[in-house]
Amino acid sequence: MSKIMGMTTETMSDAIDDVACVYLEEMRKMGWIPSDNLYITVIGACLKKGNVMRAVKLKNEMVKSGMHMNVVVGTRLLKGYCAQGNLQSTLDIFSKMTKSGISPYRVTYAVLCSDRRLLKKHKCGEGL
């Protein structure tokens, strides 16, 4: 367990998503309740490796365990969907964020405005 607790955010982000998920699962097996920051870090590691589906699964698990999706998780998922070219899922996540009361911040809008397909469909920020 000391290995898990000694990991830095940078180390975890650089880990392969499978390894990060294994650490998360081991923590739960040992009775530890992962923090929202740990979920954010592991979700980020998954997205760095291009594994959006696993990141979404972790987000759902995070919510199921009683934590709320926040602007950081939402923005990371938006970036992951944009990187995949998945315009509809990008817009769906953004809509879910705003409908659930999550206020986008400048990084959220920067992610959206960096996607050319969104820029063509909407003038950056209009109609989102």
Burial of 32 (0-12, 13-18, 19+ CB in 10 A): middle
Model pLDDT for residues 40-58, shown as the tens digit of each residue: 988 988 888 888 999 999 9
What size, in residues, is the chain?
128
Given a cut of 60, whether residue 28 has pLDDT beyond it is: yes
Lowest-confidence pick of 25-34, 79-88, 109-118: 109-118
User: Which residue blocks in 1-128 are alpha helix, DSSP H?
Assistant: 2-5, 9-14, 17-29, 36-48, 52-64, 71-84, 87-99, 106-113, 116-121
Residue 45's pLDDT is 86
Q: pTM of this prediction?
A: 0.75
Rg of the chain on CA atoms, in Å: 15
Neighbours of 84 (CB within 10 A): 14
**What's the pLDDT score for residue 25?**
82
Q: Over the chain, what is the mean pLDDT?
A: 81
pLDDT of residue 100: 92
